[in-house]
Each structure stands twice: as C-alpha cells, then as structure tokens.
Chain A
Amino acid sequence: MTTTSNSVEIRDLDLHFGAVKVLQKLNLDINEGEFLVLLGSSGCGKSTLLNCIAGLLDVTDGQVFIKGQNVTWKEPSERGIGMVFQSYALYPQMTVEGNLSFGLKNARIPADEIKKRVARAAEVLQIEPLLKRKPGALSGGQRQRVAIGRALVRDVDVFLFDEPLSNLDAKLRADLRVELKRLHQQLQNTMIYVTHDQVEAMTLADRIAIMKGGKIMQLASPEEIYNQPQNLYVAGFIGSPAMNFIQGTLTNTTFAASALQLPMDDYAFQNGPSDGPAILGIRPEHILIGERAASCAGQAEVSVDLVEGLGSDTLIYARYGTQQIRIRTEGNSRIKSGDVLNVGFDTRCSSLFDPTTENRI
C-alpha cells in the first residue's frame, strides 16, 4: 500500500444520464491534506465528479471512499464533506449566523457548541461584524466568505469547491485566491476544487487533474502539467497563449518540418525515440528571438503578421510556411508586422507527440 493515506478514493466511477456517459470508469486518489484542482472546459464532467463525491448525484456504477469509508450511497451530510458553491447558495431568509449554524442544527449539535464553532469560523474568515446581517446585505466577496464558513463550521475532512470564484470580478478573485491558499495552509484539510480557470488551478493546486469527456487526461503537479503535458489535449489546454504545434517527422532524434531541422538530443523520450510522423509542441516563450535565437540548435525564418504589446510581454503572431506560430517575448519590443525574424527553438522545453495516439513520445 502507499505510504501516504488517501483521503478520497474513487474507483471505476461511471455516471450515465440516459445514453450520455458523463463519467467513464474514472479512478482518482486524493491524498490527505492535498489541494486537488479539477480543471477542464465546460462539459468535461468536473463538476459532475465533484457532485458525485458530495453525494448530490447518484452514481451509475463504481465506488467512492472518503477516509477509507465507502460512502457511495451515503447522504451528503454523512460523508464528512463541506461544499462551497459558485453562486454562494446562502439561504436568503437566514442571517449569516443562521446560515453558518443551519447544518449544525440539522446534525443536532448542542447550542453552545454551535456558538463556539460559528465564532471560530467567523474569526478565521474575519466576518464577525456580519453575523447578524442577511446575505442580501453582503458584497460578493463577503458572501463567498460566509459560504466557505458554512463548510468550515462543520469540521469536515474534505472541502469541495465548485467554481467558487467565478462570480467575482477579477480583482476580488485574485484576493480571495490568495486567501484560499492561506486558508488551506492553515487548516491542512483535503480540498477538491473545480474550476475552468487555469490561473486558479496553477496557483492553488498541489496537483491538477485535467478532465475531458468524463476522463482524466493527466493528473500531476502544476509544473509537470505545464512542462511535460502527457498528451496533445493537455498541452493545448494549459497555457495562454496556447502552445505552438508544428507537424513534422522524427528521424533519429531529429524533428524535421520542411526546412526546419531540430536535433532533439536533449529531449527526454519516454519510451526511447521512434521514427515517424510527429508533432512538435513548443510554448510561445520557448521560441526565442534575437541573440538568444542564435544559440539554439534549430532555427527558422518567420514573417510577422501581427504584434500585440501587453506591457510586460509582447506577443508576436508569425507565419512559418503555412503554419501559424505564436511567440512571447519581453515587453517594449520594436518588432513590427511585416518584419522577417530569425527564431530559435528551445528544444529542452519542447514536447513531442504522436499524431495518431496524441500521446507524448
């Protein structure tokens, strides 16, 4: 058995709505105290998976374990989970205090204990002055804090977050993100967090599970996901602007696409190099220009279509033969559209994919 204890285990989970298979034979182990982010575009099944863990959806087949207990058919409240929703889901007719204590009252916890727990949660979240207010009188950020508090008071093992920040504006979202991270460090609970925002995923997660079509495409740390995407989907999904993909062939560890010849000597082949068609994936910031391009083993001439200055960065949309190439370089660049650039490919940071299996070579 593994040395770290598993907080949540999911075994062969299936969920079908009629003929639509939302989750398929899904397996996932989440470690004690881990912050796991379920990331994917809408309809990938991430929220569905979270609802299955919470017990809000009946699974078609498979098992869910929390703390080693099989909870597949248990009521949500009996699973030791707390949940925070996108729309906050505060009970509008109850005060903040009422919202925090509702779950405890349902669990028939003594009144003084409820009081204690509510006070502690309010302190942690700094919402003590709001306790007597109704949710209608709170700002978005305050509401979300109360929603988190509702999970907090219940003293649960696992926190489930269903896109908790997507209803907030960008500034507040960034603030609360930091607070969530701090909260996790403070509480050390297991947290499962659903989002479609890669920034949240990258900043918050211990591990990220990228989902597509009811399956997990890759489960790894943010760095690994970013640097070593296991397949084309993950590679294309993570990173903005998206990774460049160049069609070509691989012969003796050299990737060739028309005139471009890239020796991939530094590349860590997973199963050893094999010849045949391949796709080179390289992030915009790993295509170098100017002096740094010269030091690269593979170089090419591209013509610039469009330049976007972002202040800190500059994005260059260029063309290599028929292929579009995105390049990210430092701000205040003098490059204009129409220029012809000599670019270099940093092969150490690139990925190679098999066009048929779409998996990393």
Chain B
Amino acid sequence: MNFTKKMMTAALALAASAAHSADLEVTHWWTSGGEAKAAAAFAKAVTEGTDHTWVDGAIAGSGGTARPIIISRILGGDPMAATQLNHGRQAEELIEAGLMTDLTELAEAEGWADFVNPTALLDSCTLDGRVYCVPVNIHSAQWLWLSHDAFESAGLDVPSNWNEFVAAAPALQEKGIVPLAMGQQGWQQNIAFAALTIAVVGVDTWRQVTVEKNADVAAGPEYAKVFEAVVDARKLAEDSNVQDWNLATNMVITGKAGGQIMGDWAQGEFAIAEQVAGEDYTCLPGMGLNEVIDTGGDAFYFPVVDDLEVKAAQLEMASILISKEAQVAFNLAKGSLPVRGDIDLSTANDCMQKGLKILADGGVLPSGDQNLSADTQTQIEDLMAEFWASDMTAEDAQGRYASIVADAD
C-alpha cells in the first residue's frame, strides 16, 4: 500500500540520516502554481547544496493566514528552522525579543552589502546594525496586467496606461468582458489602491502620507483624486466575483477580464499557462503612468533554535538562498526580481526586463510593509475591503483613511 511504502521510506530515511544532516522545516505561503515552483527551486538548491533536507511547511492562504501561524509557533517555543516573512516591521518585535538568529557575521563574511541591490533591502533586514534576515527577491506591487485576447475581441488596441484602460472599459463591458478582475480580499484591494495612488498623485505625495504619515495630506484634495479613481475602478470590477488573486489573474489569462492590478508575482501564473509577455499579455509597471516600483519582497528569517546541528544548518541555508544560482532559479520561477545586482538575467522575459530596467534607473520606493505596522496595514486592508465591496463614497473612505494614518505608529 502507498501509505506503508511511505512509512517505510520515511523510516529508512530516518535511519540513514547521517550525523551532520538536519531536517530543516521551512514555512512559507507560496502555494499558488508559480510560487510553489519557485519554492521547489529553493528546496532543490538547499537539498543539493548541503547535507540537509528541506522539509516543506507550506501554509496555504495569503500571508495573512500564514503569518499568525508562523509567529505563534516562534512565540510558542516551537520554532521552524527558517521561515518566509515579508521583511519590514513584521518581525521587529520578534527580533527585539531575541527570537531571531543574528546573521551579521555571515553577511559580513560573504559581503552581502556589496551585492544586494537596492541596498534598502538589506537595510530592512537590519535592526540596530545587525542583520537578521536574508532578502530573497524584490516584489513590486504596482503592475497592471492586460489580456490581449480581451481587447482584441472588443476590437481595441491594448492600452498603454491606466487612463486608456479606463477609457476602453465600456467597450469591454459591451462584449460581456469584465474590465477589471479583482479578488475580493482586502490585501488585493489595498494593492490596487496603492498602485492607483502612485499613478495618480506621484511618488512625493505618496511618500508624505505613507512614510511620514502626514494625515493632512491624506485628507487633502490630491488624495481625494485617488479615492475618486478607486471609485471608478470599483465600477470596472463590479462583475468580478472571485476571491483569490490567482483566480483573478486567471480571468485575465482566459480573456474573461481585461486587466488586473496585481504584483509582479502574477507573472508566475502567466508563465504556468504558457503565455508570453508582449504576445498574450502586457504588463505595465506603475500602471503605465509613473514608472516606479516598490522594493518590497520576501525575506527569510531564522528563528533561534536549541539544536546545534540545526543552528549550523541555518547559516548554510542562508548562504545558499542568497547565492547566485539559487537566486536565478528561484526568481525566474517566481517572476520576481533577484536581490543581487551582479547576476545576468538575460533569460528573463519582457516583464522582468522592464522591472530590472526600472530598478537600474533607481525608480524604487520602499514598500508598505516597510513603513507601516501590521496593525496599520490590517486597518487599511479592512477599510479597502469595505470600500471596494460596498457603495461607500470617496469622501467617507478618505476621511477614514486619514484617521488611520493619523493614528499610525
């Protein structure tokens, strides 16, 4: 029987495990098709590059579901060997409580500071001068993904920015195509909001609100335009009734929807569907209006463990994750940008090249994760969830947004 066989294999593996190999449980929330492939690339790199075994601890659902599990396990005294967390303020308290392994020595020995690009990534892994995490990729959330099929069937050209997209929407609707695919989850709606913000008001104003937390600006006339834009977008997404982001992406892939505002990880889904950037779909960083991307992304943390073997293995693993080979394999699968400025990504597709170019031009912003606490993020996501799903007016939404910003810490 299958199960018996598995038990046997497991038992044999256990018996065969030599003195210096450790099982490294790695938790992450990469569970969609493209993401899972990327995780597998890391697993392969670790398993082949060391004596240790990657024990996959994928937690389904978005980061919102997975993070609490990860954190409660670390706090609960049952830490995993390594875990994905968005770098930024999420891990601050855990680091302060001494629950995360200090990677500074490894980072200095390998000279991470020299090749990590942009350097902001390493900064956000650093607290009081010590490095606590390995950044593994750069994700940016300000992308508009467009379906060529959809626009062709409506007899339109593929838009080149958000404004054209809005203008083209009625024609799509006539054809029974949903103009904007939108998963009904707060974090997705928040991404759309953030992307629209940068597209509408530009980087400087955005920075005043998000980084400096200026509630007056948030309540001001410029931001009012953002909320008007969201109200427009909300109309375009009226008929989109999926929940998960990848189902929304799938609507774009199958031409049921004209476009989707989503992070660059959506690219993984297009890749799995064997679609080609520029032929089957188009990606517009910064919504085609303000060509900047944020430098959020994923990072790996290594909780403090008692087991000495695991301790040693953690450092080996950290070194592997940031190595050139693993970075290439992982990021190609995931559709994200590598954190090293010194690797050649000529194999990358059209969209990634766009991203790399923006990165090279320095059009980078810090991501929301780095600026806002989880608490504030959750409140904004809750607000967005409500705003997008109801007929709340732009003024109301803006007022509440401003008060969240005012209370943010």
Do A and B contact each other directly (Cβ–Cβ < 8 Å)?
A: no
Interface on A for B, CB 8 Å cutoff? none
